[in-house]
Amino acid sequence: MAEIKNLSVLEAVMGKLNLLGARLIPAEKLPGGQALVLSKDKLIEGMTVLKQEAGFTQLSYLTAVDWMEKRKEFELLYFLHALSAAQRLCVKVSVDRDQPNVLSVSQIWPAANWYERELYDLFGIRFQNHPDLRRILMPDDWVGHPLRKDYPLTEEPVHFLERTAPRLPSELIPKKYAVVTAQNPAAPPAVPAAKPATADAAKDKPVA
Amino acid sequence: MDGETIVKCVPDVGFLHTGVEKQSEFRIFHQVFTLINRLDYLSGPQEEMGYSLAVEQLLGVEVPKRAQYLRVLLCELSRIASHLVWLGTGALEVNMSSVFMYCFDTREKILDIFEQLAGARFFPRYWRIGGLAWDVNEDWLQQVKNFLKIFPDRWKEYHDLVTENPIWLKRSKGIAKLTLQDCLDYSLTGPIIRGCGEPYDLRRVFPYSSYQDFEFDIPTQKEGDAYARYLVRMEEMRQSWRIASQALERLPEGQVKTEDTKITPGALPRPWGKNASVMVPDRRITAAPLREGIKIPDGASYHAIESSRGELGFYVVSDGSNKPYRVGLRTPSFMAIQALPKVIEGGLLADAVVAIASFDPVLGDVDR
């Protein structure tokens, strides 16, 4: 029942969306939803059609994934929700990793305001025409964008007990159980994320 | 400020930011539970529920019926606990301190249930990918039964204390008014949108974990003010009680985790009783699926649940390794705080307190 409804909601505007270069892709693992790929240049036109003609009145969530090695781009994911038809839609937009500029949708859905600030803060994606593009979660003077894959996870020495020298938290975890690679805080920020190294480490571990 | 009137309000968040999304990328799938249930620290089980559903959807695992019912039972108990904190602290904002004491007394009983079950009161960490950590026993079921027996009377007590209270009515009626359009624009969900007349509840729209098996109503109010949200949450507590009672009554027999021991470790005995509150380092940490993690095939999945505060969504991406490539968190309080200027600008300073309480934001949930 839900599936049929969904098709009719999208079918009505699919012609227009096709003209904008949008295409449906195999359903994302998303309850009650479908996925659509839209190009960056047609973002505003496509989103306006989706909101005003297909009835996706709510922007549930806006997030991004940094495909640093695989595709060298950021993937923006707009999760839209049509309340009347009880349907969801995931709109995927690719953004160049070196020139992460994209138009803001905060004029269409005011909820996007903070989501875009968050993505600017954590990924460094610059949203043009945004009313107030400032950092939101990190301090204003922070350098770098933490959720990028080339930003290392570091740690600071902590006082665990009185009258002892500060230690790194990862030093306290027995090597056998440590699955997280603690990186030296002094390491240069250009070090790529520890993913490949830790995957190997997990393999080498003796099976108890 | 202009005298007592708020002219402009700019929320400044981020002071509780702990980088959960970044840290999750460096932990195996099982370890992420520990991080994410500290977001909305008033309803830990619901966070675990959302994350485990997203990962199970990615894996394509079916969870046994008994585990689904137990999950529902725990989520509804934690919804009651979370709403009790909201009611207690909300009443405290208008100086009704006795309500606070009564609410926390009842909530204590729910936390005792969690403690008896898993050793921890706020964050049971009882969920596993593909099921639950261990099965429940008769004593525990009896404890839940006892709680469900006393709850309606307790609820009536709060209802008598607050609903018709002239101070409460004066402070909350007509305050922090929102329209349905505002809710759509600012992506407000949960009790806030239901307080504006829209019966939107993810448990009903996209049922998960056997919610379709239970009978419950979705309370709505038309006014969209703080009092409407109060009425919605009060009724929700009763509906949660209804669902929990049904789940307990019809609890099916069977396993509480999938048969596939590659995903979840085999059943391990759990010390019950007083010792449960002591963190005993036992062998379950050394069980292979928990230590090395499971490798989850390439893909992405988004799963949202109806938490105490609204839509709580998890976007999990895997690149085939034993750690998530990305965990995105859609938290309801983040959106609620964004909409805050909308309701408190132009109002009195004293009303801002009630407005914030009526949104029921948890700042751990905002800053992640």
What residues of chain B lie within 8 A of the CB of A30, using their CB? 301-303
Residue B257: its pLDDT value, please? 79
Do A6 and A85 meet the contact criterion of CB atoms below 8 Å apart? yes
CA distances from B320 to A79, A155, B192, B261, B293 (A): 24, 26, 39, 19, 12
Select from B214, B192, B213, B189 the least CA-distant residue to B202: B189
Nearest by CB to B187, from A58, A147, A205: name it: A58
On the question of pLDDT at B241 being above 90, the answer is yes
Q: Which of A51, A80, A137, A191 to mutate to probe the B interface, most B CBs <10 Å? A: A137
Residue A7: its pLDDT value, please? 55
Nearest by CB to A194, from B26, B198, B317: name it: B26
Residue B146: its pLDDT value, please? 92
Alpha helices in chain B (DSSP H): 20-24, 32-36, 44-59, 65-93, 97-118, 138-162, 166-172, 180-185, 191-194, 202-205, 226-249, 288-291, 332-338, 340-344, 349-359, 363-367
Q: Picking from B90-94, B131-135, B242-246, which range would have the lowest pLDDT averaged per residue?
A: B131-135
CA distances from B77 to B112, B144, B240, B307 (A): 11, 9, 7, 12
Q: Do the chains contact at A32 and B286, CB–CB below 8 Å?
A: no
On the question of pLDDT at B233 being above 50, the answer is yes
**What is the rounded average pLDDT of the residues B89-118?**
88
Q: Which residues contact B190 (CB under 8 A, 6 or more apart)?
A: B306, B307, B308, B309, B310, B311, B332
Residue A185: its pLDDT value, please? 37
Residue given tokens 């109010």 in the structure block? B221
pLDDT band at A1 (very low <50, low <70, confident <90, very high): very low
Q: Domains in chain B and their CATH numbers?
A: 20-254+299-367 (1.10.645.10)
What residues of chain B lie within 8 A of the CB of A135, using their CB? 14
Closest-CA residue of chain A to B202: A86
**What is the rounded average pLDDT of the residues B284-313?**
77
Q: Do the chains contact at A180 and B27, CB–CB below 8 Å?
A: yes
pLDDT band at A168 (very low <50, low <70, confident <90, very high): confident
Helix (H), strand (E) at residue A11 = helix A2-19
On the question of pLDDT at B58 being above 60, the answer is yes
Q: For B143, left (φ over 0), alpha (ψ -120 to 50), or beta?
A: alpha
The winner for highest mean pLDDT among A193-197, B242-246, B264-268 is B242-246
B200/A contact by beta carbon, under 8 A: yes
B11/A contact by beta carbon, under 8 A: no
B211/A contact by beta carbon, under 8 A: no
Residue A73: its pLDDT value, please? 87
The winner for highest mean pLDDT among A117-121, B29-33, B57-61, B346-350 is A117-121
Residues 161-190 of B with CB under 8 A from A: 184-187, 189
Angle between helices B138-162 and B97-118 (to 10 degrees): 170
pLDDT band at B314 (very low <50, low <70, confident <90, very high): very high
Q: Do the chains contact at A32 and B302, CB–CB below 8 Å?
A: no
Nearest by CB to B311, from A60, A136, A177: name it: A60
What residues of chain A lie within 8 A of the CB of B313, using their CB? 60-61, 79
Assembly ipTM: 0.84
- In total, the C-beta contacts within 8 angstroms joining chain A to chain B are 124
Nearest by CB to B184, from A58, A146, A194: name it: A58
Residue B76: its pLDDT value, please? 92
pLDDT band at B290 (very low <50, low <70, confident <90, very high): low
d(CA B364, CA B123): 14
B102/A contact by beta carbon, under 8 A: no
Could you tell me the residue ranges of all domains in chain A?
2-128, 152-208
Q: Do the chains contact at A146 and B22, CB–CB below 8 Å?
A: yes
Classify domain A2-128 at the CATH class level: alpha beta
Rounded to a whole number of angstroms, the distance between the first and last alpha carbons of chain B is: 30
Enumerate the β-bridge partners of residue B158: none
B341/A contact by beta carbon, under 8 A: no
Structure confidence by residue, pLDDT tens digits, B179-225: 888 888 898 888 999 988 888 888 888 888 888 888 888 888 888 88
User: Tokens representing B303?
Assistant: 């799963």
pLDDT band at B270 (very low <50, low <70, confident <90, very high): low
Residue A43: its pLDDT value, please? 84
Helix (H/G/I), strand (E/B), else coil: B287: coil
Q: Which residue has the higher pLDDT, B251 or B261?
A: B251
DSSP secondary structure string for all residues of B199-211 = ---HHHHS--TTG
Q: Say how many C-beta atoms besides its own lie within 10 A of residue B218's C-beta.
A: 17
On the question of pLDDT at B118 being above 70, the answer is yes
Do B218 and B229 meet the contact criterion of CB atoms below 8 Å apart? no
Q: Which residue has the higher pLDDT, A194 or A20?
A: A20
On the question of pLDDT at B115 being above 60, the answer is yes
B133/A contact by beta carbon, under 8 A: no
**What is the rounded average pLDDT of the residues B259-264?**
70
